[in-house]
Structure 1
Amino acid sequence: MNINNDVGIIEGVYDITLPKVPTSLHRWGRVVWLQDIEIGSRGKLLYIQDGQCSRTHLSRITNVIKAMDYVEIHTENNIYRLRLLPGESYHSGNN
């Protein structure tokens, strides 16, 4: 499964060894564009901050769970839970 250009809102980041323990609280609520999200890769989360495009590089992705309205990305270090925004993609505003 490859997820590229979907848009989501980070609803939680959790430590992989303690999945009930929240981490990276500053990222919660951030709207991000998902890039290169597939098992075995080091995906990226792109976002706009202070008028500039920034990115968060993920550690190696070990699992991806995708449903209609959310995606859960498991990396070597964290679990990212994102609510997907329907009909939105990175390219939708660039047509």
Structure 2
Amino acid sequence: MRRKWDARTKARIVLEGLTKGGISELCRTHDLRPGQYYKWRGQFMENCHLIFEKQPGPPTESELAVENEKLKRLVGELTLELNNGKNIR
């Protein structure tokens, strides 16, 4: 039967392998195939840099104010275009 490994457990096992070595013993301890460990390690190494990238968070008040002003200008321009189109007819 296949087991489902959660992300935290996978990361902990990979980090243990990277720091302590002894992959064969590690895999025996966790009843894990070495090929599966190396697959997880590859995924880990491929994506570990993402933790240091800025995570998108809620916009700041100043960013919202700037966006609000842009939207107000756009609404005004569109209103003028709409009104000018009605006056031509």
TM-score range, shorter chain: under 0.3
The TM-score normalised by the length of structure 2 is 0.26
The TM-score normalised by the length of structure 1 is 0.25
| Structure with a larger share of its residues in strand | 1
More contact order relative to length (CA 8 Å, sep ≥ 6):
1
Q: Which has more radius of gyration?
A: 2
| Structure with a larger share of its residues in helix | 2
